[in-house]
Structure 1
Amino acid sequence: MPKAPRRPPQLRGRVFRGSIAVSGGLLTRNDLRSSAWRPLFRDVYADAQVDVTHTIRCAAIGRWLVPPGSAIAGRAAAGLYGCASPAANEPVDVLIPTATRVGRITGLRIHSGEVDPGDILDRGGVRVTSPARTCWDLACWLDVIEAVVVIDAMLARRLTTVPVLREYALSRAGRRGWRSLLRAVDLADAGAESPQESRTRVRLVLAGLPRPQTQWVVAEQGRFVARLDLAWPQFRVAVEYDGLWHDDVEQIHRDRRRLNRLLGGDWIVLHVTAKRLREDFDGFLAEVRAALRARSRSLRPR
């Protein structure tokens, strides 16, 4: 019968440095290779029974792998703020001061940059870039659509505001990235309720359409009729994103019922799915353009 791997009680449920456990006599190098322990990073291990989350990985990085003055950044920082959903095994962005040197570490994306006072905060014992700095970095490191997705979420959670982000960018005019942040902020909207709603809105605007209103409420004689993901109320045209939650049959019925009421009230409601955005955005864009063009003609004073 195979011998059960050693699991000292001091290490159960813990994340730890392998070298410290070995030097303290708790484990041998051979023990660390057993199924009892899971390697996270170089010389960093976790009890295999621990559910290793993104937050746990960030805490381990901040504690053991990066120098003072560094911080979790980018999408990883947004994840700690609850504004992104990085996978547990996704590489973690880390910001280090310009003059600091760090070797390559598997599982980390190291970024070097100028760090201003207030750019780094302590969040639950983890050093993380501030909301404004996180938005700046995202605007530099991601394409504008994906940057806006996260900035929308930051605004929705009231972690920052459009005026604060604009001032942050303008006060750093001339630095690499300030124009990227301004562009992303100009496209951002706190009303977005999902990443896909953000992607849909930004892609439509970048394609040249008028900027739609988010979460537009339609009422009749003061009574609520519907709330629309994206709407051009002056044209009575709307876009609804159909997400995965539509596997809920009752929700589908409720949504279709309210949208049917809108159609009776002379609204054009166009639906889009992730598959359509991914594989036929041009076709969907043409449909929205046609609806706006037709409605613009029909509503023009005669």
Structure 2
Amino acid sequence: MSNTDTHTPPAIGTPLSVDALPPSDTPPEPDVAVERLAGRQQGRFTRGQVRDQAQGSHSMIASRIRSGRWRRITSRVLCLPGAPRDWVGDLWTARLHVGDDTVVSHRSAARLHGFPAVPRSVPCITVPAGSHRRYGAGRLFQRGDLPPGQIVRVDGLLVTSPARTLVDLAPGCSRARLEAWLDHATAERLVTPDELAEVLRLCSRPGKPSVATLRSLLEDYLPGGGVLQGNLERALARVVRSAGLPPGVPQFPHPGSRGRTEFCDRAWLQPQLIVECDGRRWHDRIAAARVDKRRDAAAAAEGWQTIRYGYEELVSRPDSVAEELRRIYQQRAVLLAGADREAAGI
């Protein structure tokens, strides 16, 4: 998934009165500022943004609406002609209408994260606790426990993280559907079992809706059904040190992710080498193996080699794994150095 630029456009000087605009094919500066802003928000913007970020007046807004240059979606949200009229556009409209301190959540977040078989629904938006805001075309959820670490940005929208989305959807969700979403999120590396367990811990308190089903499913991904991510990373770190290699970059953005939020367990930039470690039973499933094959092929298309080790290999034969990893690393380094010399005509 691709993220949009989030910087705030600079304020622009006071515009001319609408009636005093000189005849020109060049849009006045406030219109340019609004078009730039709308380009990051699915063609949408609010009256407040026009005033605050383009120094537009009430009369200017009214004039643009009358002329058809801008169109009214809600009492607060406007759009440019040709703005996408799709589901993502509806999310932008909902969030802009309700306020900048809100977050796309629940089923809407699940669809944005690519969870399978999420029924289409009205926009779901989480608002601050105690808020009395209303939005008739969507569902609003109040929150008092949504820290920054549980919020991510997807295509410019602030969205609950995959882990928090699973926790939010768990109450009242069928076991089969929740398991499918959990399998997808872990197989696609959107969330680790450790991360999900931590979010569950932070969200568990008296009066919180039950998440017993999710907690039960998570047990299959943790000790007894698999290996904690921290233990897996420590085992890999020991092997890397034994091999005498540079530490590499843990949780490196996957080179073939094409904008999606995906990471690999460890990577080295110079030899373009990735190491992935499997420590959970779900990696034996056909669906997960298919995802792994796709990830490896995507990395190869970008010039990276991927090697995979199971946790049992890292702990039962660390010396042989270290030697193998060292040899592959050295071969990759020599190969890429030769390619660089050839490209330079040396």
- TM-score, with length taken from structure 1: 0.47
Q: Name whichever structure is richer in strand by fraction.
A: 1
Select the structure with the greater relative contact order (CA < 8 A; seq sep ≥ 6).
Answer: 2
TM-score when scaled to structure 2?
0.42
